[in-house]
Amino acid sequence: LAINLSMVANVALFATKVVLAVLSGSMAILASAFESFLDILSNGIIFFTIRVIRQKNLYDYPVGKARMEPLGIIVFAVVITTSFSQVLISSIERLTESSPTSEPIDLSPIAVALLLANIVIKGILWVWCLTIKGSSSVQALAQDHENDVVFNIASTIFPVIAVWAKWPWLDPVGAILLSLYIIYEWVIVLLENIRRLTGQAASVDDIKQLTYMAYRFSTKIVSIETVRAYYTGDRCIVEVDIVLPPECPLREAHDVGEALQDALELLDNVERAFVHLDFTSEHQIEH
């Protein structure tokens, strides 16, 4: 219910902001309308990628389609940065062309009331989503609504002050600041997902946890030769080389390796684990 209501609210708020941006000529409100549109687009991309991931095909995709999610985020981040770059360029052009005789922003009391209603609606959705526990999707929506409240307040303050103080340059300045903020935030998200899709190593703490878990897993394990963990999306591929006694029977060695692999794959941040068995560590590192 929370997700569906959030989608309906995003569509309604986007339509309201588009009308206000056209009628008032405010660049800050236009930037806010772009942000609301991207909320709708993000929900659509998330819905599409989740649906694709759930359509399993062991022949064409033997290890699943988990990488579709970060790939979708990359596509979304590119769309966001491109859109707000255009808003940024338009705002700079408006600012450089502004003069004392520039056409003022037409911001009526009804327009201000609608902008304030946007803030109130997003605030109510934010508080409501915070009260719903046990759903990561709803908690993510709560974070998104919180960001929207801050963004809507800023996109309302700039044009209102610009009209009240008769500073027409303040509205494009507000749009520039809001656009730079959104571009900065999503460039960080974009680079993080690119690094993970290209095999970024797991953190030192994750490596320590995996090493400790492997070493304490069985008394038959003599030593840990190598532990590797690297991202191929949202989760890691783990490779562990363990040393068993030379006289360990094949059946026992197999059971230890398989059980360790299953245990590692139970971790939330592990997609797949591979355990290599050896009887000595006196050789070059293998792969």
SS percent in the chain: helix, strand, coil, step 5 = 65, 10, 25
Can you tell me the distance from the alpha carbon of 205 to that of 225, in angstroms, rounded to the nearest whole number? 18
For residue 98, what pLDDT is reported? 53
Count of C-beta atoms within a 10 Å radius of residue 134: 6
Task: Say what the pTM is.
Answer: 0.72
Single-letter amino acid, residue 161: I
For residue 237, what pLDDT is reported? 93
Count of C-beta atoms within a 10 Å radius of residue 284: 5
Domains of the chain, residue spans: 2-197, 204-278
For residue 285, what pLDDT is reported? 66
Listed in sequence order, the residues at least 6 apart from 197 whose beta carbon sits closer than 8 Å to its beta carbon are: 67, 70, 71, 74, 231, 232, 233
For residue 134, what pLDDT is reported? 55
For residue 100, what pLDDT is reported? 46
For residue 135, what pLDDT is reported? 52
- Give residue 33's Cα distance to chain centre: 20
For residue 286, what pLDDT is reported? 64
CATH topology of domain 204-278: Alpha-Beta Plaits (3.30.70)
122-128 LR contacts (CB < 8 Å, sep 24+): 122/9, 122/13, 122/148, 122/149, 122/152, 123/149, 125/2, 125/5, 125/6, 125/9, 128/2
**Structure-block tokens of residue 192:** 């993080």
- Residue numbers in the chain where pLDDT is lower than 70: 1-3, 46, 98-107, 133-141, 143, 283-287
Listed in sequence order, the residues at least 6 apart from 227 whose beta carbon sits closer than 8 Å to its beta carbon are: 207, 210, 211, 214, 238, 239, 240, 241
- Can you state the angle between helices 170-197 and 136-164, rounded to 10 degrees? 160
For residue 101, what pLDDT is reported? 45
